[in-house]
């Protein structure tokens, strides 16, 4: 993001804004002069170079000869100081203006010395009109430095300098004319992030030239301002670095001036430290920008690790992402050790890309469908419910009316218990018992080992809600619109609470309160002992999703397409997040993140504190399954029959497994195995 | 049987958690010792109203520290305060009174700040100035605080554990500190210590920091501009808060302390004392 310097009342705005780059316009707040503290690593105030000074004539806005940024209309470009046709030193004829920056103008010129040929050159003129003599001094120094630096360099990716002179108090550099387009313009013209392969090829070349600079003798040269607008791409895809205005000879341990471009510069540069690995950071930032189209100047500084490129461009290969993130480490020691090392990693990757990556950038590593599956078990009807794992036994209900008990290690059948109708409710467990609700309207409490009935409790309608246990009571909703509390030992009814719609949501508990949704569109908070209403909160449509509690909040989805976060004590909605379809899926809170599916086909990852989207993953099919997170990976099923495993942090797909019909239930995960049912009538055990 | 006894018998459940009512607050905004004008604005409101689950106490508190050429900063902070307040009244208070479904509070506050951003940006463009403002807003309702924040004003909670800052400064120096690139001592004199990477009214895209937290165990809330936190040490802030004075007196004392420390900037603060449960 552009830096906005806070300004007090005493100071009037500067007479003219920096002319070139709208993005770097900043505002100055009056800053009382800080007492200089000896011994602190303080940057000298006179060297506090403003972004306008950092903006150089080859910047994208400027190259067109007219600013194109958002503030362009407000900022008339400075008029060039030389008119077309003017001749400098009897030799260089001005042909056109290429760009106007804060401190210099770049012209396209013709070298008249070579009579027979049409030889063009770039003419860079220092035009600083700063009323501040100190600032002028710095500009002049930078200009001279650029000239003498370029004179000592010889590399195909660095423009050659032909001449350097002063005319009428103005300074001119005559440079090799680089025909091409800068990377910022290329990126702006592209509707999508740039191609991975192309970016890698450029990056290899950039590492080449950086390595040349960093190995400069007697002292390394730090470019200090690597960013898309400072890289030209010629018609044959060669890169040329332009603008050496702030490059400097590296002197070990010398604290220099804080300089560079916000967004691309490494953190240490803000305390005046410029060293070779800072250029690698800026190259990483540049690559991140090219591959995501997310402009780092518009983001919170140094947040690349919160925005891994794959979260913005899912097609990106994980290898390249790792490579870029290593360049972007805050800690210099954690980055690539040198441009050479980064270059060889890029070359390895270019090789890898062709051999080992499937289209779409998903690594082919890991077991394929056959190896993924450990076992499957076939029921006689659809499996819509979610499995429960309890003491090494898997309990799952099917639409064939049965609750099955299977051995988790091999999927061996242990027993089944027939109810009168289908089961889509998930079982719960306590002590030696499991309980499940059935479409027949009953809750059955069974001995976990034998499947023998302990008790049966009756409701007035089908049960699609899953029973939940709190202390010595079991809570369940029924299509008869009631929420029931049953005594855990005998199944006697403790209380009922009447809502105005079928209750298909399952209760969650916090303290002595249970939270449950109803098809009447409300979320209810009910005291667990008395059945008394504590609060209710309204959404627009049925609440089938089950509330989850975390950190004093309730999270729940609604068919009105929102995911709600409510204050647990009062029911006031703190935030809501809109998806494009019904939210039947029950959210999962894991750390500071929340995962939830929607019938719009996306699995969303949100920040729990404010509902901000971190990433989403598209399945192009409905998701009613509730995600589970284990070991940094999120697992869920979708309407397309797939079971997905994604990286919880980035949403990148790790693997997927195809079943024969929609997967509506929630996976149970234990000891590296994912257990999940499918409407293809099977229960699967998959390697996590 | 008298009705109160009957009621008592029926109602065996423990009472719902007590609602926090009757917060009290103090407010101060001072020009300081150096600046010719005060570009800060503050807003404080407390009301009690019938809600869907009974009588509710609602508090809205905002501090805005204006910046930008001439008097633009003062305009921006006043606009921001007014826009956010009106949006909250229209989006939350009015619907409660009308028994309409309540807005999601954090969404409402975030949208309110974004609205303020758009309008100030448009007004600044018309007037060809570069005004902007920080904005830190806290809405208290039913035992929870909902916050929205842009810039480097701050919201603190005061508990028996001491002071905790609930907001992040959107400044380059704060980012460098977060990353461990500079030390707190270096931050004090860093040449970019006054540079914000976002503010209200100066760029199209801003990210409003939004959060909420329960007020359990919280004695008071302090909202303030950097004219206070930048010059008065946290230890001194804490001592003053714990001095046993009324909120208004504490605010005035803190302004005096900031002025004694040089009063480099405008000083604005709101102190909300919460009842103990």
Please give the residue of chain B at the shortest CA–CA distance from A42. B190
B219 within some domain: yes
- Which residues from A are below 8 Å from B188, CB to CB? 34
Which phi and psi (to 5°) does residue A77 adopt? -65, 150
- Which residues from A are below 8 Å from B117, CB to CB? none
Whether A556 and A550 have beta carbons less than 8 Å apart is answered as no
Alpha carbons A287 and A200: distance in angstroms, whole number:
8
**Mean pLDDT, chain A, as a whole number?**
82
Please give the residue of chain A at the shortest CA–CA distance from B204. A70
Whether A596 and A629 have beta carbons less than 8 Å apart is answered as no
User: What token pair was written down for A200?
Assistant: 């890698």
Arithmetic mean of pLDDT, A349-361: 46
Instruction: Render the burial of A446-455: b for 16+ CB within 10 Å, e for the rest.
Output: bebeebeebb
B19 within some domain: no
Chain centre distance of CA A156: 36
Place B12 in a pLDDT band, splitting at 50, 70 and 90. Answer: very low
Alpha carbons A67 and A311: distance in angstroms, whole number:
32
Q: What total of structural domains would you count in chain B?
A: 1
Q: Which residue has the tokens 């332009």?
A: A242
Element at A680 (helix H, strand E): none
Nearest to A576 among B107, B172, B192 (CB): B107
- Residue A574 to residue B104, Cβ atoms within 8 A: yes
- Residue B175 to residue A300, Cβ atoms within 8 A: yes
Q: What integer pLDDT is reported at residue A80 of this predicted model?
A: 60
Range A182-361 has CATH code 1.10.510.10: yes
Nearest to A4 among B129, B195, B207 (CB): B195
Number of CB pairs, chain A paired with chain B, less than 8 A apart: 211
Q: What is the pLDDT of residues A258-293, one digit of tens each?
A: 456 788 999 888 887 888 999 999 999 999 999 999
Alpha carbons B86 and B93: distance in angstroms, whole number:
10
Of A508-522, B83-97, B178-192, the poorest mean pLDDT is in B178-192
Whether A19 shows a pLDDT value over 60: the answer reads no
User: What token pair was written down for A31?
Assistant: 């800053």
Alpha carbons A367 and A373: distance in angstroms, whole number:
9
| Degrees, nearest 5: CA angle B187-B188-B191 | 70
Element at A62 (helix H, strand E): helix A60-63
B14 within some domain: no
Predicted ipTM? 0.86
Whether B68 shows a pLDDT value over 90: the answer reads no
- Which residues from B are below 8 Å from A35, CB to CB? 189
Collapsing DSSP to helix, strand or coil, A153 comes out as coil
Q: What integer pLDDT is reported at residue B265 of this predicted model?
A: 93
Alpha helices of A225-275 — where are they, by DSSP H? none
User: Which residues lie below 8 Å from residue A42, measured CB to CB, with a gap of 6+?
Assistant: A34, A36, B186, B189, B190, B191
Nearest to A294 by CA among A317, A271, A316, A311: A311
Please indicate if any CB of chain A lies within 8 Å of the CB of B162. no
Instruction: Render the burial of A562-573: b for 16+ CB within 10 Å, e for the rest.
Output: bbbbbbbbbbbb
B10 within some domain: no
Please give the residue of chain A at the shortest CA–CA distance from B18. A569
- Residue B106 to residue A268, Cβ atoms within 8 A: no
User: What token pair was written down for A12?
Assistant: 């009037």
Of A64-78, A306-320, B5-19, the poorest mean pLDDT is in A64-78
- Residue B36 to residue A258, Cβ atoms within 8 A: no
Domain carrying residue B242: 25-273
Of A95-99, A381-385, A544-548, the poorest mean pLDDT is in A95-99
B274–chain A nearest CA distance, Å: 17
Residue B238 belongs to domain with CATH number: 3.60.40.10
B202–chain A nearest CA distance, Å: 8
**Other Cβ atoms within 10 Å of A38 Cβ, number:** 5
Collapsing DSSP to helix, strand or coil, A498 comes out as strand
Whether B219 and B23 have beta carbons less than 8 Å apart is answered as no
Q: What integer pLDDT is reported at residue A81 of this predicted model?
A: 73
User: Which residues lie below 8 Å from residue B132, measured CB to CB, with a gap of 6+?
Assistant: A4, A27, B66, B67, B68, B73, B76, B120, B124, B199, B200, B201, B202
Whether A4 shows a pLDDT value over 70: the answer reads no
- Residue B172 to residue A3, Cβ atoms within 8 A: yes
Please indicate if any CB of chain A lies within 8 Å of the CB of B93. no
Q: What is the pLDDT of residues A172-188, one digit of tens each?
A: 889 888 889 999 999 99
A556–chain B nearest CA distance, Å: 13
Please indicate if any CB of chain A lies within 8 Å of the CB of B14. yes
Whether A381 and A372 have beta carbons less than 8 Å apart is answered as no
Nearest to A678 by CA among A661, A654, A658: A661
Nearest to A5 among B180, B186, B194 (CB): B194
Collapsing DSSP to helix, strand or coil, A505 comes out as coil
Q: What integer pLDDT is reported at residue A478 of this predicted model?
A: 96
Please indicate if any CB of chain A lies within 8 Å of the CB of B65. yes
Q: What integer pLDDT is reported at residue B70 of this predicted model?
A: 63
Please give the residue of chain A at the shortest CA–CA distance from B227. A8
The more confidently predicted of residues B15 and A286 is: A286
User: Which residues lie below 8 Å from residue A301, measured CB to CB, with a gap of 6+?
Assistant: A1, A262, A263, B172, B175, B197
Q: Which residue has the tokens 């602190």?
A: A40
- Which residues from B are below 8 Å from A72, CB to CB? none
**Other Cβ atoms within 10 Å of B31 Cβ, number:** 18
Which phi and psi (to 5°) does residue A45 adopt? -60, -35
Q: What integer pLDDT is reported at residue B137 of this predicted model?
A: 98
Alpha carbons B9 and B1: distance in angstroms, whole number:
11
Place A152 in a pLDDT band, splitting at 50, 70 and 90. Answer: confident
CATH class of A22-28+46-68+78-176: alpha beta
**Other Cβ atoms within 10 Å of A595 Cβ, number:** 26
Q: What is the pLDDT of residues A606-622, one digit of tens each?
A: 999 999 999 999 999 99
Alpha carbons A585 and A602: distance in angstroms, whole number:
11
Q: What is the pLDDT of residues B188-237, one digit of tens each?
A: 777 777 788 899 998 888 999 999 999 999 999 999 999 999 999 999 99
- Residue A575 to residue B107, Cβ atoms within 8 A: yes
Nearest to A20 by CA among A184, A241, A187: A184
- Which residues from B are below 8 Å from A10, CB to CB? 34-36
- Residue numbers of B between 242 and 261 with CB closer than 8 Å to A: none
Of A262-271, A356-365, B115-124, the poorest mean pLDDT is in A356-365
Whether A440 and A458 have beta carbons less than 8 Å apart is answered as no
Arithmetic mean of pLDDT, B239-263: 96
Whether A52 shows a pLDDT value over 50: the answer reads no
The crossing angle, in degrees rounded to 10, of helices A339-356 and A196-214 is: 160
Nearest to A516 by CA among A470, A477, A557, A552: A477
Alpha carbons A478 and A438: distance in angstroms, whole number:
10
Please give the residue of chain B at the shortest CA–CA distance from A23. B203
Q: What integer pLDDT is reported at residue B221 of this predicted model?
A: 97
Please indicate if any CB of chain A lies within 8 Å of the CB of B190. yes
Whether A63 and A185 have beta carbons less than 8 Å apart is answered as yes
Nearest to B28 by CA among B63, B57, B59: B63
Q: Which residue has the tokens 């001036």?
A: A257
Arithmetic mean of pLDDT, A55-73: 34
Place A246 in a pLDDT band, splitting at 50, 70 and 90. Answer: low
- Which residues from A are below 8 Å from B266, CB to CB? 8
- Residue A34 to residue B191, Cβ atoms within 8 A: yes
Query: Long-range contacts: A200-204, Cβ < 8 Å, 24+?
Result: A200/A320, A200/A346, A200/A349, A200/A350, A200/A353, A201/A237, A201/A350, A202/A231, A202/A233, A202/A237, A202/A239, A203/A283, A203/A287, A203/A342, A203/A346, A204/A343, A204/A346, A204/A347, A204/A350
Place B101 in a pLDDT band, splitting at 50, 70 and 90. Answer: confident
Collapsing DSSP to helix, strand or coil, A269 comes out as helix
Nearest to A610 among B170, B197, B210 (CB): B210
- Residue A610 to residue B141, Cβ atoms within 8 A: no
User: What token pair was written down for B262?
Assistant: 């040089």
Q: What integer pLDDT is reported at residue B112 of this predicted model?
A: 97
Please indicate if any CB of chain A lies within 8 Å of the CB of B52. yes
DSSP letters along A203-229, please? Answer: HHHHHHHHHHHHT-SSS-EE-----GG
Please give the residue of chain B at the shortest CA–CA distance from A535. B53
Nearest to A4 among B14, B196, B211 (CB): B196
Alpha carbons B210 and A604: distance in angstroms, whole number:
19
B119 within some domain: yes
In chain A, where are the structural domains located?
22-28+46-68+78-176, 182-361
Q: What integer pLDDT is reported at residue B194 of this predicted model?
A: 75
Q: What SS3 string covers chain B?
A: CCHHHHHHHHCCCCCCCCCCCCCEEEEEEECCCCCCCCCEEEEEEEEEEEECCEEEEEEEEEEEEEECCCCHHHHHHHHHHHHHHHHHHHHHHHHHHHCCCCCCHHHHHHHHHHHHHHHHHHHHHHHCCCCEECEEEEEEECCEEEEEEECCCEEEEEECCEEEECCCCCEHHHHHHHCCCCCHHHHHCCCCCCEECCCECCCCCCCCEEEEEECCCEEEEEEECHHHHCCCCHHHHHHHHCCCCCHHHHHHHHHHHHHHCCCCCCEEEEEEECCCC
Place A299 in a pLDDT band, splitting at 50, 70 and 90. Answer: confident
Q: What integer pLDDT is reported at residue A13 of this predicted model?
A: 32
A450–chain B nearest CA distance, Å: 38
Arithmetic mean of pLDDT, A638-660: 93
Place A655 in a pLDDT band, splitting at 50, 70 and 90. Answer: very high
User: Which residues lie below 8 Å from residue A221, measured CB to CB, with a gap of 6+?
Assistant: A149, A153, A213, A214, A247, A248, A249, A250
- Residue B172 to residue A35, Cβ atoms within 8 A: no
Nearest to A530 among B13, B141, B193 (CB): B13
Please indicate if any CB of chain A lies within 8 Å of the CB of B277. no
Whether A264 and A278 have beta carbons less than 8 Å apart is answered as no
User: What token pair was written down for B128?
Assistant: 């060809």
CA distances from A69 to A21, A60, A260 (A): 7, 9, 20
- Which residues from B are below 8 Å from A34, CB to CB? 188-189, 191, 193
Beta-bridge partner residues of A92: A88, A111
Element at A606 (helix H, strand E): strand A602-607
Instruction: Render the burial of A343-362: b for 16+ CB within 10 Å, e for the rest.
Output: bebbeebbeebeeebeeebb
Nearest to B53 among A31, A535, A575 (CB): A535
Nearest to B36 among A10, A13, A536 (CB): A10
Please indicate if any CB of chain A lies within 8 Å of the CB of B53. yes
- Residue B125 to residue A302, Cβ atoms within 8 A: no
Q: What percent of chain A has pLDDT over 90?
A: 59
- Which residues from A are below 8 Å from B130, CB to CB? 13, 25, 27
CA distances from A11 to A8, A19, B68 (A): 6, 20, 9
- Which residues from B are below 8 Å from A2, CB to CB? 197, 203
Instruction: Render the burial of B179-199: b for 16+ CB within 10 Å, e for the rest.
Output: eebbeeebbebbbbbbbbbbb
Q: What integer pLDDT is reported at residue B19 of this predicted model?
A: 52
- Residue B53 to residue A571, Cβ atoms within 8 A: yes
State pTM to two decimals: 0.74
Q: What integer pLDDT is reported at residue B53 of this predicted model?
A: 79
Q: What integer pLDDT is reported at residue A534 of this predicted model?
A: 93
């Amino acid at each position: 993001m552009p830096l906005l310097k806070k300004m007090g009342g005493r100071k009037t705005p500067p007479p003219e804004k920096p002319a070139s780059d709208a993005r770097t316009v900043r505002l100055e707040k009056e800053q009382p002069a800080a007492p200089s503290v000896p011994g602190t690593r303080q940057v000298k105030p006179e060297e506090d170079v403003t972004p306008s000074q950092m903006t150089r004539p080859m910047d994208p806005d400027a190259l067109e000869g007219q600013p194109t940024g958002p503030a362009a209309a407000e900022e008339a470009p400075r008029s060039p100081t030389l008119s077309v046709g003017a001749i400098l030193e009897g030799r260089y004829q001005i042909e056109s203006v290429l760009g106007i920056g804060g401190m210099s103008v770049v012209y396209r010129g013709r070298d008249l010395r070579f009579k027979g040929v049409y030889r063009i050159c770039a003419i860079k003129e220092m035009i600083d009109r700063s009323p501040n003599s100190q600032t002028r001094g710095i500009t002049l120094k930078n200009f001279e430095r650029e000239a003498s630096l370029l004179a000592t360099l010889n590399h195909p990716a660095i423009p050659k300098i032909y001449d350097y002179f002063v005319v009428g108090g103005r300074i001119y550099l005559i440079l090799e004319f680089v025909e091409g387009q800068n990377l910022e313009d290329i990126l702006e013209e592209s509707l999508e992030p740039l191609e991975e392969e192309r970016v890698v090829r450029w990056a290899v070349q950039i590492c080449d030239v950086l390595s040349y600079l960093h190995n400069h003798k007697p002292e390394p040269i730090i470019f200090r301002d690597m960013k898309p607008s400072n890289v030209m791409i010629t018609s044959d895809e060669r890169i040329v670095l332009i603008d050496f205005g702030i490059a400097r000879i590296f002197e070990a341990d010398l604290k220099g001036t804080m300089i560079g471009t916000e967004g691309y510069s490494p953190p240490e540069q803000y305390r005046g430290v410029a060293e070779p690995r800072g250029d690698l950071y800026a190259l990483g930032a540049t690559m991140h920008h090219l591959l995501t189209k997310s402009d780092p100047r518009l983001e919170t500084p140094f947040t690349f690790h919160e925005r891994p490129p794959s979260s913005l461009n899912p097609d990106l290969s994980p290898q390249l992402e790792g490579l870029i993130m290593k360049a972007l480490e805050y800690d210099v020691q954690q980055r690539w050790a040198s441009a050479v090392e980064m270059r060889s990693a890029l070359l390895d990757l270019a090789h890898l890309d062709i051999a080992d990556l499937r289209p779409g950038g998903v690594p082919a590593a890991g077991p394929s469908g056959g190896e993924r599956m450990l076992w499957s078990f076939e029921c006689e009807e659809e499996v819509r419910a979610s499995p429960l794992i309890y003491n090494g036994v898997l309990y799952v209900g099917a639409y064939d009316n049965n609750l099955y008990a299977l051995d988790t290690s091999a999927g061996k059948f242990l027993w089944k218990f027939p109810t009168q109708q289908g089961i889509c409710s998930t079982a719960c467990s306590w002590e030696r018992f499991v309980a499940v609700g059935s479409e027949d309207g009953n809750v059955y409490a069974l001995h976990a080992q034998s499947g023998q009935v302990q008790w049966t409790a009756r409701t007035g309608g089908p049960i699609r809600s899953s029973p939940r246990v709190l202390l010595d009571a079991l809570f369940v909703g029924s299509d008869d619109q009631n929420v029931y509390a049953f005594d855990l030992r005998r199944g006697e009814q403790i209380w009922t609470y009447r809502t105005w719609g079928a209750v298909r949501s399952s209760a969650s508990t916090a303290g002595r309160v249970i939270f449950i949704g109803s098809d009447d569109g409300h979320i209810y908070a009910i005291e667990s002992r008395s059945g008394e209403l504590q609060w209710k909160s309204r959404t627009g449509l049925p609440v089938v999703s089950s509330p989850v509690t975390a950190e004093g909040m309730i999270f729940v989805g609604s068919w009105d397409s929102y995911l709600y976060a409510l204050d647990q004590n009062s029911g006031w909605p703190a935030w809501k997040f809109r998806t494009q379809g019904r939210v039947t899926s029950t959210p999962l809170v894991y750390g500071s993140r929340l995962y939830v599916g929607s019938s719009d086909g996306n699995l969303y990852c949100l920040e729990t504190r404010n509902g901000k989207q971190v990433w989403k993953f598209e399945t192009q099919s409905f998701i009613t399954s509730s995600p589970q997170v284990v070991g940094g990976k999120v697992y869920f099923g979708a309407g397309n029959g797939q079971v997905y495993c994604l990286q919880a942090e980035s949403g990148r797909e790790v693997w997927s497994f195809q079943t024969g019909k929609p997967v509506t239930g929630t996976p149970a995960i234990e000891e590296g195995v994912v257990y999940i049912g499918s409407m293809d009538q099977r229960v699967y055990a998959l390697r996590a | 049987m008298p009705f109160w006894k009957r009621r008592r018998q029926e109602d065996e459940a423990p009472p719902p958690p007590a609602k926090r009512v009757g917060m009290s607050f103090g407010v101060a905004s001072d020009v300081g010792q150096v600046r010719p004008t005060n570009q800060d604005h503050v807003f404080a409101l407390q009301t009690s109203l019938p809600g869907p689950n009974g009588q509710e106490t609602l508090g809205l508190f905002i501090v805005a520290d204006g910046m930008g050429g001439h008097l633009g900063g003062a305009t921006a902070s006043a606009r921001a305060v007014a826009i956010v307040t009106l949006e909250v009244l229209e989006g939350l208070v009015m619907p409660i009174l009308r028994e309409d479904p309540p807005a999601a509070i954090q969404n409402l506050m975030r949208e309110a700040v974004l609205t303020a951003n758009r309008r100030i940006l448009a007004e600044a463009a018309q007037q060809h100035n570069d005004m902007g403002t920080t904005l830190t807003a806290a809405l208290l309702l039913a035992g929870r605080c909902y916050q929205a924040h842009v810039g480097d004003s701050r919201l603190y909670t005061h508990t028996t554990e001491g002071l905790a800052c609930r907001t992040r400064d959107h400044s380059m120096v704060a980012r460098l500190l977060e990353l461990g690139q500079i030390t707190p001592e270096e931050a004090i004199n860093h040449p970019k210590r006054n540079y914000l990477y976002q503010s209200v009214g100066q760029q199209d895209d801003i990210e409003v920091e939004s959060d909420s937290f329960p007020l359990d165990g919280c004695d008071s809330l302090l909202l303030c501009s950097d004219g206070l936190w930048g010059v008065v040490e946290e230890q001194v802030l804490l001592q003053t808060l714990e001095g046993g004075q009324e909120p208004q007196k504490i605010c005035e004392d803190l302004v005096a302390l900031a002025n004694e420390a040089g009063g480099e900037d405008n000083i604005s603060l709101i102190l909300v004392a919460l009842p103990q449960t």
